[in-house]
């Protein structure tokens, strides 16, 4: 009996039909041809390799750059009865060995691995023995130096084509400019591949940029106007907590989500939002990959995004049910400097990377020409203090060395010590009075770090020990006591990471081999920031057309629904001022209002409302109350 793709779709995913292009892509894969597929967020990329892999005997290899995404995919497949495994750092070496054997003997249909894991000799030797039916490269833009998430290890994926030359390959991505598409096709040897690309245009998605000094106020107004499911993206973990708490105090049900939450809390918040019990999830950009919630109505960015690629991918999580949805950026006068400070001032150039590399070699006493075989324990804060380094810039340089195969960092490099208070201030001060030996340390932490009552906060043990004039061992002992007494939640990492040197030390010569990549990635980041600023500042060209042009797609039509198009439909200059003034006075007769409340009633800009208020005050039509609101003048 012939099994059709639609039968697989119905049996496992309970879908009765494919999304645009999916079926054509799947049929091409089943025919044994290579495929390049560029499908915007929400286009259903995963099914394009999962369905054909289920039809054929053997295992599908999926290369993915994100552990969280791999875990989500594996969990989703297991939920519907499909056997899948991801080789993540959660597995011990002996478990990896066992699971690779299971893949050889047919226990799994899908094996998810990172490009870095693929470089391991053990993994390669076992993959050679597997009966592979398809190779899927997810987030394929990572292979390009012009891609927004360049991963040099992606360049070595084509080794799979040597191991299994008879197996076809599908490369998938959601965001890629023309030069990135060319890189993907070249480096994956997709010379005879069938190319599928859907338009980036999202007919149902209204892209908005709103200038607003009081972003909390505008956020409240937007979420009360658009009462459907919403995602609010913020820059850091602390903001996820403070903004979700603010929304709850004004009657908008919200939960927060970030990478530092415990698994149980993450899952609980996620399920509250997925079920609709919480209207809003306030999240860092760690949230969203692999999330398929069709009824998201609004995606709001409180801060400017770091690239148009990431913005459009995140905004594209709204409106997957085909109904009108909104992708909104809130901006104000301070946003540009914040964006530049966060992403450009901490970019390490070639000279700085060379400096960091030499200091690492000195720190671990690596001799010139030597490549140590052993692993070193690495205390990042201590390293930065010893050489008087900017920690953010040094951190980026070390990650760059890791990403480019000069060094290898243990997976816990980002998992530094975090601290969160579990009790209120009154209970804490009572505890401090009865534990004077620990009180001084707590005072230092409270003075040094904000938000420790609200969110797990990364703390510098070396800095605390210096301020307290105690050893790090004494600080760690005190923290453990606080954890034991259930005063704090503690994640303790006495060693930030293990570090290995992968190439012999040759100082500048070592870094010169990757200097072109460093320069190109820095240039790309500057261009991305400039593109974001150009986008939010350009209020003359349809926002959809701006996005399409960025991705190399020409469009002669305005979308008609973005903030630029909507303003063009009814320019404020065309508004009948006399009629608006009559309406304002009628509203004020019902009760005094401030300028913001008048903006809400008139749906005019702050500038236009200010002009009207000034005019009405001059004409003695309204007056200011003691509470700085406005009311009609009694005549």
Answer yes or no: is pLDDT of 172 > 90: yes
Which of 147, 171, 197 terminates a domain? The answer is 197
Res 291: pLDDT? 74
Q: Do 122 and 24 fall within a single domain? A: yes
* CATH classification at residue 142: 3.40.50.300
Give me the pLDDT at residue 1, please: 58
Percent of the chain with pLDDT over 90: 50
**Euclidean distance between CA atoms 527 and 550, whole angstroms:** 11
Task: Answer yes or no: are the C-beta atoms of 414 and 497 closer than 8 Å.
Answer: no
Q: Where in the sequence is the domain holding 443, given as residue range(s)?
A: 418-491
485 inside domain: yes
What is residue 590's predicted lDDT score, i.e. its pLDDT?
87
Number of separate domains in the chain:
5
Can you tell me the mean pLDDT for 370-399? 89
Both 458 and 578 in one domain: the answer is no
Q: Residues with Cβ < 8 Å from 545, sequence gap 6 or more? A: 555, 557, 558, 559
Start-to-end CA distance of the chain, whole Å, equals: 88
In a domain, 529, yes or no: no
pLDDT value at 557 more than 90: no
Looking at the structure, tell me whether residues 459 and 576 fall in a common domain: no
d(CA 315, CA 395): 29
Please write the tens of the pLDDT for every residue from 93-130. Answer: 889 999 999 999 999 999 999 998 898 899 999 999 99
Render pLDDT for 340-372 as a digit per residue (tens, 0 to 9).
988 899 999 999 999 999 999 999 999 999 999
Q: Which of 64-68, 70-74, 401-405 has the lowest mean pLDDT?
A: 64-68
Mean pLDDT along residues 33-47: 87
Same domain, 160 and 108: yes
Shared-domain flag, residues 432 and 385: no
Same domain as 374, residue 520: yes
Report the pLDDT value the prediction gives residue 451, as an integer from 0 to 100: 76
pLDDT at 463: 76
Q: Note whether 326 and 359 are same-domain residues.
A: no
CA Rg value for the chain: 28
Q: Which of 359, 385, 361 is nearest to 371 (CA)?
A: 361
Arithmetic mean of pLDDT, 155-167: 92
Same domain, 210 and 353: no
Three-state secondary-structure class, residue 274: helix
> Has residue 231 been placed in a domain?
yes
Q: Pick the last residue of a domain from 153, 171, 197.
A: 197
Q: How confident is the model at residue 31 (pLDDT cuts 50, 70, 90)?
A: very high
pLDDT at 415 over 60: no
What's the full length of the chain, in residues?
635
Which residues, in sequence order, are CB contacts of 252 under 8 Å at separation 6+?
220, 223, 224, 279, 280
Higher local confidence (pLDDT), 626 or 243: 243
pLDDT at 583 over 80: yes
Q: Are 235 and 382 in a shared domain?
A: no
In a domain, residue 531? The reply is no
pLDDT bracket for residue 495 (50, 70, 90):
low
Alpha carbon separation from 208 to 154, 172, 204 (Å, rounded): 35, 28, 13
CB atoms under 10 Å from CB of 626, counted, come to: 6
Q: Are residues 56 and 170 in the same domain?
A: yes
Q: Do 168 and 57 reside in the same domain of the chain?
A: yes
| Sheet containing 169-173, strands listed edge to edge, beginning at the edge strand earlier in sequence | 84-86, 110-113, 59-63, 132-137, 169-173, 35-38, 194-197
What mean pLDDT is reported for the chain?
Answer: 89
Distance CA(529)–CA(533), nearest Å, equals 6
Burial of 24 (0-12, 13-18, 19+ CB in 10 A): middle
Task: Report the distance separating Cα 225 and Cα 53, nearest Å.
Answer: 44
Q: Which of 238, 278, 279 is nearest to 261 (CA)?
A: 238
Domain containing residue 407: CATH number: 1.10.10.10
């Amino acid at each position: 009996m012939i099994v059709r793709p639609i039968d697989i779709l119905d049996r496992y995913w309970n879908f009765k039909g494919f999304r645009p292009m999916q079926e054509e892509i799947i049929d091409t894969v089943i025919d044994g041809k290579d495929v390049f597929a560029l499908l915007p967020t929400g286009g259903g990329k995963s099914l394009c390799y999962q369905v054909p892999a289920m039809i054929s005997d053997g295992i599908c290899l999926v290369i993915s750059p994100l552990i969280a995404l791999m875990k989500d995919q594996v969990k989703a497949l297991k939920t519907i009865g499909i056997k899948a495994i991801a080789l993540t750092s959660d597995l011990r070496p002996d478990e990896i060995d066992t699971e690779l054997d299971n893949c050889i003997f047919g226990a799994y249909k899908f094996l998810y691995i990172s490009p870095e894991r693929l470089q391991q000799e053990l993994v390669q030797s076992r993959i050679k023995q597997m009966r592979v039916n398809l190779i899927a490269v997810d987030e394929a833009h990572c292979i390009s130096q012009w891609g927004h998430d360049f991963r040099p290890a992606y360049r070595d994926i084509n080794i799979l084509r040597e191991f299994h030359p008879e197996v076809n390959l599908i490369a998938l991505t959601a965001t890629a400019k023309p030069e990135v598409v060319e890189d993907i096709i070249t480096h994956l040897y997709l010379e005879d591949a069938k190319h599928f690309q859907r338009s980036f245009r999202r007919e149902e998605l209204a892209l908005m940029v709103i200038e607003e000094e009081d972003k909390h106020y505008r956020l409240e107004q937007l979420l009360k106007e658009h009462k459907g499911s919403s995602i609010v993206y913020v820059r850091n973990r602390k903001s996820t907590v403070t903004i979700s708490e603010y929304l709850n105090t004004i009657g908008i049900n919200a939960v927060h989500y970030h990478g530092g939450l415990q698994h149980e809390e993450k899952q609980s918040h996620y399920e509250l939002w997925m079920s609709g019990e919480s209207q809003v999830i306030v999240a860092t950009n760690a949230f969203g990959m692999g999330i398929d919630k069709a009824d998201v109505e609004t995606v709001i960015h409180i801060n400017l995004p770091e690239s148009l690629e990431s913005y459009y991918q995140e905004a594209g999580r709204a409106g997957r049910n085909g109904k009108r949805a909104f992708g909104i950026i809130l901006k104000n006068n301070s946003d540009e400097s914040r964006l530049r400070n966060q992403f450009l001032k901490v970019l390490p150039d070639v000279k700085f990377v060379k400096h960091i590399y030499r200091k690492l070699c000195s720190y671990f006493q690596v001799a010139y020409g030597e490549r140590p075989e052993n692993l070193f324990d690495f205390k990042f804060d201590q390293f930065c203090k010893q050489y008087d380094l900017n920690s953010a810039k040094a951190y980026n340089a070390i990650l760059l060395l890791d990403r480019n195969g000069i060094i290898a960092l243990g997976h816990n490099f980002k998992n530094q010590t975090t601290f969160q208070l579990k009790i209120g201030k009154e209970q804490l001060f009572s505890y401090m009075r009865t534990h004077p030996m620990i009180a001084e340390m707590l005072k230092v932490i409270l003075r040094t770090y904000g938000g420790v009552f609200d969110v797990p906060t990364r703390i510098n043990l070396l800095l605390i020990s210096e301020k307290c004039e105690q050893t790090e061992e004494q600080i760690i002992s005190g923290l453990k006591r606080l954890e034991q007494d259930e005063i704090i939640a503690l994640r303790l990492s006495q060693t930030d990471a293990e570090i290995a040197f992968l190439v012999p030390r040759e100082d500048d010569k070592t870094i010169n081999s990757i200097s072109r990549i460093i320069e190109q990635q820095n240039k790309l980041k500057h261009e991305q920031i400039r593109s974001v600023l150009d986008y939010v500042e350009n209020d003359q060209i349809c926002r959809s057309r701006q996005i399409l042009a960025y991705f190399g797609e020409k469009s002669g039509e305005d979308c008609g629904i973005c903030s630029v198009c909507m303003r063009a439909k009814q320019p404020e200059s065309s508004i009948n001022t006399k009629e608006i003034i009559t309406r304002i006075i009628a509203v004020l007769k019902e009760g005094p209002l401030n300028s913001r409340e008048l903006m809400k009633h008139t749906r005019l800009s702050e500038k236009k409302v200010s002009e009207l208020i000034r005019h009405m005050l001059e004409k003695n039509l309204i007056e200011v109350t003691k509470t700085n609101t406005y009311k009609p003048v009694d005549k």
